[in-house]
Each structure stands twice: as structure tokens, then as C-alpha cells.
Amino acid sequence: MKRYNFIFLVLIFLVHNTNILAQKNVIKKIVLDAGHGGKDPGALGTGRYSKTEKDIALDVTLKLGKYLNAEFPEINIIYTRKKDTFPTLKDRTNLANESNADLFISIHCDSFTKSSAKGTSSHVMGLRYTQENLRVAQKENSVIYLEDNYEENYDGFDPYSPESIIAFSLSQTTFLDQSILIAQKIQEQFRDRVKRTDRGVKQTPLWVTRATNMPSVLVELGFISNPSEEDFLNSEIGQSYMASAIFRAIKSYKNELETSNYNLAIDNSEKNNKNDSSKLYTKKETTQKDVIFKVQIKTSLKIKMIEPVMNYNVDVFKENNLFKYTIGSVSNIEEAREIQKIAVSNGYKDAFIVAFINKNKISISDAINYKK
């Protein structure tokens, strides 16, 4: 009788916890995008090698895919290209969206007119007014000119027009925080394990990260206009190290994300906090009914204590199972930009402005329109 009672209890446990166990593997599909290809060579390098950006990007992408397949056979690894072909930017993003992927990684090499430029960077969707971000955006977006009917396919988007880039950038922030998380992990691996110069995580208006409906990162492996970095990225060991670094970053991101989701399910947090994504967890409740601008400085999967930034206390709210930390609370976006500068000068290089109305998070474009 005891045996049957035990079996019955096991069955009850399985029935009630199927949804918890199912949440364990939240990353089921990853799209790997080797930049450029076919008639688009990408950056040409110094001319000392026959390989250009498109070849190095493909070599590293295929190595990364092998590492992921070996470690996570349950994950479906999807490639935008596995040979020297030329998928359009829309082909790449459509493949990711139609596959319902959970992560999109686009791999590239950088280049500059000065051979002394060096280092790795990871780019997520966003708008930060720097010449460096604009340079990368123009370089990676300009590939559309190689496509047939590009004006029709991209609705008049001009990669060389700042106005076009601004309008383009304001429309996508949904997965920004998750994208920043994985991008930070990639840069940490490049810096700490491969000992590459870290140029940081940058918010850059890129088509492939804007048009994908999932966390997305464009990775620049280094400058092939720099002879030393070109040598490294053309070597078997260099490509293996870079692929391994991205693999380790994805593994860490996956483990943290899935552990967090699993614990949230066990704790019934969906029931307890009834957390619609707009619920604020701040030190001060506010009755302000106008648009409020804040500066987001950090995102984490687990709650952390963050020291004040200058004279600004740090508030935290929860959205999509992520804790998000902000400073400031102003009604004018120009004031918010000043606070953003303070955050950046205090080490929060990726700080960006967020907006709320009646405690509900809204897009910056909606906030600006509301103010008019």
C-alpha cells in the first residue's frame, strides 16, 4: 500500500510541476549569423591575407556552432549561412523571427582607416550619440546597397542619414536589457580569457539587431585593419579562442537565465507579485501622472544593492523577470540626458533613458509625443 501511495505522490508532483520543469530550458533555438558573404566581402583587412571579414566571420561562426552543439545537443542551432553566400539583412532577420529563436548572435570584424585601432566590441540596439557608434552603424548597415530593390525592402531607410537612424532606433527597446546582459558577458570573456582590448558594449542602430524579435547582439571580433589583430583572427588558435569566448558567454547567460526562471517558477513569483511588467519597486511611491524620465544604469537576474550615483539614489523595478536599476526622476528629457552623462562619467557606460507614465513603462518615442 505504501508503494502505491508513493507512486501516487510522484504522479501528483509531476502533474503539478510540469510547467516548472518545462521552464528550465528557456533557450531552445539560437541563430548564428556570419556577417557579409558572397559578393559582400566586408572589411578587406591589410591585404596580406586572402581572407576578408566574411571568411573570418564564417570560420568563427561555424566553430561556435560546433561548441554549442557539443555542449547543448538539445538546442537547435540555426545558421543564416554555412557557405560563402549572400543572404540579405532581411533574409537573416526573417529567418531568426520565423524560427522563433531565443537568441541572435551576428559575428563580424571591424576596420578603420588608422591601423592602430584595436579591440573587440559588442553592439545592441539603441541610440547613443557618438561618432564611434555612428561609424559602426553606417559600416554594417550599408550592405543594403548591394541588395536588389533595397529602397523598397527597407522602406526608404538610409544608413548614412542621422535622421533616418534616429527614427529607426526609437522603435525597438523590447529586448534591450537581455541583449545588454549577453553582450556584457561576451565582452568579459574577450577581455578576461582571451586578453583582447575591450571597447565595451555599445548601443548602436543596426538593422540586424533592430529587426529581430529576440535578444540580439552584433559582435566585432577585432580590427583586421590592425596587422596584429588581423594575424590573430586569421590563425586557427585565434579563431578557436574567440569562438570559445562567445560560447562561454552564451553558456553563462543560459545558465543564469534558466536558473532564474526555474527559481521564479518554484517560488510562484508569477502569482505572488502578479507582476505585470510595469510594476515598480521603488524607494518612493509617486502620484505623478505626467511622463517621468529616468536613467537605467544596470540590469541583473538577481536583486543587488547598488550604491548611489553622485547624489542620486538607485531605484529598482522588475520587468520580464529582470531587475532594472534607475537613477533620477525628472519630467524633462533634457534633464534626463544630463543625468545620463553623470551615470556614464561614473562608470555606467551603457546607461540609457527610460520613460514612465502612471508607473507604466512606455517607449521614449511615445513619451516625447505625449509631451508635445
The pLDDT assigned to 370 comes to 74
User: Residue 129 above 50 pLDDT?
Assistant: no
The pLDDT assigned to 34 comes to 96
User: Is residue 86 included in any domain, yes or no?
Assistant: yes
If asked whether residues 247 and 115 sit together in one domain, one would say yes
User: Mean pLDDT over residues 248-269, rounded?
Assistant: 67
What confidence category does residue 149 fall into, taking pLDDT thresholds of 50, 70 and 90? low
- pTM comes to 0.63
User: Is residue 35 included in any domain, yes or no?
Assistant: yes
**Boundary of a domain, candidates 231, 259, 287:** 259
User: Is residue 4 included in any domain, yes or no?
Assistant: no
The pLDDT assigned to 180 comes to 85
The pLDDT assigned to 206 comes to 55
If asked whether residues 93 and 220 sit together in one domain, one would say yes
If asked whether residues 255 and 334 sit together in one domain, one would say no
pLDDT > 70: percent of the chain:
68
**Boundary of a domain, candidates 224, 259, 294:** 259
Place of cell 535578444: 215
Q: Distance between CA atoms of 260 and 197, rounded to whole angstroms? A: 31
Closest C-alpha to 322, from 176, 184, 206, 103: 176
If asked whether residues 225 and 312 sit together in one domain, one would say no
Q: Distance between CA atoms of 355 and 360, rounded to whole angstroms? A: 8
If asked whether residues 67 and 100 sit together in one domain, one would say yes
Q: Which amino acid is located at 106 in the chain?
A: S
**Boundary of a domain, candidates 209, 230, 259:** 259
Q: Distance between CA atoms of 370 and 7, rounded to whole angstroms? A: 59
The pLDDT assigned to 347 comes to 86
Indicate the SS3 state at residue 213. Answer: coil
If asked whether residues 125 and 219 sit together in one domain, one would say yes
User: Residue 190 above 50 pLDDT?
Assistant: yes
User: Is residue 57 included in any domain, yes or no?
Assistant: yes
Indicate the SS3 state at residue 339. Answer: helix
Q: Write the pLDDT tens digit of every residue in 338-364.
A: 999 999 899 887 788 888 988 888 888
User: Residue 92 above 50 pLDDT?
Assistant: yes
The pLDDT assigned to 88 comes to 83
User: Is residue 204 included in any domain, yes or no?
Assistant: yes
User: Residue 127 above 50 pLDDT?
Assistant: no
Indicate the SS3 state at residue 315. Answer: strand
What confidence category does residue 270 fall into, taking pLDDT thresholds of 50, 70 and 90? very low
User: Residue 158 above 80 pLDDT?
Assistant: no
Q: Which residue has the higher pLDDT, 164 or 281?
A: 164
If asked whether residues 121 and 222 sit together in one domain, one would say yes
The pLDDT assigned to 212 comes to 62
If asked whether residues 240 and 282 sit together in one domain, one would say no
Structural domain for 332, as ranges:
275-371
User: Mean pLDDT over residues 115-134, rounded?
Assistant: 71
Q: Which residues 6+ apart lie within 8 Å of 224 measured at CB?
A: 43, 44, 45, 46, 52, 53, 56, 109, 110, 111, 230, 233
Indicate the SS3 state at residue 239. Answer: helix
Q: Distance between CA atoms of 185 and 181, rounded to whole angstroms? A: 6
The pLDDT assigned to 77 comes to 98
If asked whether residues 184 and 92 sit together in one domain, one would say yes
User: Residue 304 above 70 pLDDT?
Assistant: yes
In terms of DSSP bridges, do strands 120-124 and 76-79 run parallel, antiparallel, or are they unpaired? unpaired
User: Is residue 308 included in any domain, yes or no?
Assistant: yes
User: Mean pLDDT over residues 197-205, rounded?
Assistant: 82
- The CATH number for 228's domain is 3.40.630.40
If asked whether residues 94 and 134 sit together in one domain, one would say yes
Residue 46 DSSP symbol = T
- The CATH number for 364's domain is 3.30.70.1070
User: Is residue 172 included in any domain, yes or no?
Assistant: yes
User: Is residue 68 included in any domain, yes or no?
Assistant: yes
Least confident range from 12-21, 157-166, 324-333: namely 12-21
To 5 degrees, how large is the angle CA 184–CA 60–CA 86? Answer: 105
The pLDDT assigned to 344 comes to 87
Indicate the SS3 state at residue 316. Answer: strand
Q: Write the pLDDT tens digit of every residue in 169-184.
A: 434 456 777 888 899 9
User: Mean pLDDT over residues 140-165, rounded?
Assistant: 48
Q: Distance between CA atoms of 221 and 193, rounded to whole angstroms? A: 14
Q: How many domains does the chain have?
A: 2
Q: Write the pLDDT tens digit of every residue in 37-61.
A: 999 899 999 999 999 999 999 999 9
The pLDDT assigned to 267 comes to 40
Q: Distance between CA atoms of 92 and 124, rounded to whole angstroms? A: 16
The pLDDT assigned to 305 comes to 78
Rg (CA), the chain: 22
If asked whether residues 249 and 294 sit together in one domain, one would say no
Q: Is the dihedral of CA 176, 101, 32, 190 positive or negative?
A: positive
If asked whether residues 279 and 222 sit together in one domain, one would say no
The pLDDT assigned to 259 comes to 67
